Structures are given as structure tokens and as C-alpha cells.
Amino acid sequence: MSLFHPTVALRKVTDISPALLRQLEIDAILLDVDNTLAPPTSKIPYEGVKEWIERIQASGVHIVICSNNYKKRIQPFAESLGLDCVSMSLKPLPFGFNRAKRKLREKPKSVLVVGDQIYTDVLGANLAGMRSILLEPRSEEHGFSIWLRRRMETGKRKKIRLLNGGNHHVSQGNQSH
């Protein structure tokens, strides 16, 4: 399976249900921030995110934030949601994921990466042998580097949607742990 294919593709983070996580046997999530939990630079999460985090944690799954953005942006945001975090994580490289895993109270059996970018979140998860959920980008973004990455993603997202039968729901693409 391609290094660019997520385990599952969904529209938004709140579409991830405790039942899906049980099905995938996930006990920890490494969670992206920008365009996953909130618009880039915004301190206010998307609607339902706070409640979703509580629901997932109540189901016994641990959550650590793992973002490539700066500490100044990520730490206060994570604290406002009561979550531990790793900033400047250098996804798709494995260092940030390893730092995030060390923040979990128990050694996780099966870790899931959740984010909106193929070239950081999904590629990083596949390189680290972890599973991933790819979300649709939700907010307008500006700047050349993100424009380029989004352009590079276009064909791959189409293919992922085709694998999903034309919608955003569950594909069982990459089952490697």
C-alpha cells in the first residue's frame, strides 16, 4: 500500500467515533492542530471539538497533540483543551511522534495519527508504522508552501476518495501497525 494512503479518510475530526477506534483497536491518538482542531492561528476550536475530545477520552483512548507549528501557538491551545502536546514535531519525520508517545501514561499498543495533510500526517504515520486518519482541510490557507502541498495532494486525495467508493468514509487501506 502507498505511503501516501491513510487507513481511513473522513471529512472532519468529530466524525471519528469511539466505535471506529475500537474497530481499529486504537488506544492512543497523536492529533494535529491546524485545520484539524481549529483554523490556523485561531485559539477557538471548530464546533464540537471540545466535546469530541471528552467523548474519546471517556472511551479510554489517550490523546496527545503533535503539531509542526511553534510552541507559542500550540502549547496554550493544547492547555485550553487540557491536552499534553509536542510542538515543532517535524512531521513526517518520526522524532515528534516519539516524543508524543513518551507523554502517554501507558505504553500504547496501537497508535493512530490524525491530521489534514498527506505529506506530513499520513506520510509520517506510514513511515513510523502507525495507522492514520486523513481529514479534509477546512479553512482557507495562505502562503506558497501550503499552496504547493495542497496542489501536490490533489491527485492523491482523488485516488483516496475512489478507494473509499467516492465518499469520505471508511477505507481499510493501510492496515499495517
* Chain residues in the site for Mg ion (CB under 5 A): 32, 34-35, 116
* Closer residue to Mg ion, CB minimum distance, 143 or 166: 143
Task: Tell me the C-alpha distance between 32 and 8, whole Å.
Answer: 15
Q: Reply yes or no: is the peptide bond before residue 92 cis, omega within 30 of 0.
A: yes
* Closer residue to Mg ion, CB minimum distance, 60 or 95: 95
What minimum distance in Å lies between the beta carbon of 31 and Mg ion? Answer: 10
What minimum distance in Å lies between the beta carbon of 68 and Mg ion? Answer: 8
- Spatial neighbors of 101 by CB under 8 A, at least 6 apart, are 28, 30, 64, 108, 111
At 165, give phi and psi (nearest 5°).
75, 30
What minimum distance in Å lies between the beta carbon of 165 and Mg ion? Answer: 25
Chain mean position to CA 143 = 21
Of 20, 23, 33, nearest to 135 by C-alpha is: 33
What minimum distance in Å lies between the beta carbon of 27 and Mg ion? Answer: 23
* Closer residue to Mg ion, CB minimum distance, 59 or 127: 127
* Closer residue to Mg ion, CB minimum distance, 21 or 113: 113
Question: What are the residue ranges of helices labelled H in the chain?
Answer: 18-23, 49-58, 71-80, 95-102, 123-127, 144-163
Residue 5 contacts residue 157 (beta carbons within 8 Å): no
What minimum distance in Å lies between the beta carbon of 34 and Mg ion? Answer: 4
* Closer residue to Mg ion, CB minimum distance, 23 or 130: 130
